[in-house]
Chain A
């Protein structure tokens, strides 16, 4: 799929969206976690939790975002104790203690989600992002961050795109989590709709047995479907 964008967006984004026809290939055999981390740029992931995403969205719209004039507004919610916002789980981070970064009284459902998911294996960083209409994130690679993060779109209005260079568009839809390798692949995001778009993302201890099982099983489900 290719998309012709308006001149609202920089030429580099327009060319990437228009000319890059690369797609993610999913080998049809079972993969180990290491192979998934090495070879898969993005894939849907089944967290195995019952989550009230509607309530999470209601809470997400009221969060104290730090606004950006062109890209995404951010709300840093959970991360290493005592540090300023590192903007991601840094690749060289060895923090062991984590804490909430905002008062969670107004977002009990999000707090419950973090607690539930941390039972799988420690969450190491979590933030919410709001992207306003016609905003965009220039192509970049998150190489100083843990390469793997889970995105959960709470809304994904038509006209929103998450493009990965040579790997295609992530087929995001509301409330479907995806594991995404943003550390090894150039990617760019736009909101070409007329609505605000909400998403949150988190890093976790991918080395824990339960996370490894979830990732492996999610891939197995993907190729079976």
Chain B
């Protein structure tokens, strides 16, 4: 049986309103609870003039993953004038540990040390 997960966040927005799209479907409200497939990559988009400060998936604080959102330019970050888009999988705990292990690999750490922050 697939399990529903909660999606919680802390964002700042300016000018007009913002929209949240989960797998392309718009949501309103402060917290999203949804059953998500385990065999696909999910997308979460915060659209508008937004800064995403915190992203808590399934009650797990995803820490600095929040800075790895896709933005309108080729960079990564947590702020955009249009949309910040995140990709993630479920179960959250194992996806996040895989992501963390990859982001902290020795090769990436050496790159970060010598070249600064390197988005994936």
Does A165 lie within 8 Å of B109, measured CB to CB? no
| Chain-A contact segment, one of B13-21, B47-55, B80-88, B99-107 | B99-107
Q: A11-B59, A11-B60, A15-B91 are in contact. Are A183 and B97 (CB under 8 A)?
A: no
Q: What secondary structure prevails in chain B residues at the interface with A? A: helix
Indicate with 1 or 0, residue by residue over A121-157, a CB within 8 angstroms of chain B CB atoms: 0000000000000000001110110010000000000
Q: What secondary structure prevails in chain A residues at the interface with B? A: loop
Partner of A144, one of B61, B92, B109: B109
Does B93 lie within 8 Å of A16, measured CB to CB? yes
Does B97 lie within 8 Å of A139, measured CB to CB? yes
Does A141 lie within 8 Å of B94, measured CB to CB? no
| A15-68 contacts to B (CB < 8 Å) | 15-16, 19-20
Q: Which residues of A contact B (CB under 8 A)?
A: 10-12, 15-16, 19-20, 91-92, 139-141, 143-144, 147, 165, 183-186
Residues in A with CB closer than 8 Å to B60 are 10-12, 15
Does A183 lie within 8 Å of B106, measured CB to CB? yes
Cα-based distance from A91 to B107 in the complex (angstroms): 11
Cα-based distance from A130 to B69 in the complex (angstroms): 38
Partner of B101, one of A10, A12, A20, A186: A186
B96 at interface, CB cutoff 8 A: yes
Cα-based distance from A144 to B109 in the complex (angstroms): 7
Q: Which residues of B contact A (CB under 8 A)?
A: 58-61, 91-94, 96-97, 100-101, 104-106, 108-110, 113
Nearest CB in chain B: distance from A168 CB, A: 14
Q: A11-B60, A141-B104, A143-B104 are in contact. Are A186 and B97 (CB under 8 A)?
A: yes
Does A140 lie within 8 Å of B109, measured CB to CB? no
Residues in A with CB closer than 8 Å to B109 are 91, 143-144
Ordered by A's residue number, 12 sampled pairs between the chains whose C-beta atoms are within 8 Å are A12-B61, A12-B93, A15-B60, A16-B93, A20-B94, A140-B104, A141-B104, A143-B106, A143-B109, A144-B106, A165-B97, A184-B106
Interface centre among A10, A16, A143, A165 (most CB of B within 10 A): A143
Cα-based distance from A144 to B110 in the complex (angstroms): 8
Cα-based distance from A139 to B97 in the complex (angstroms): 8
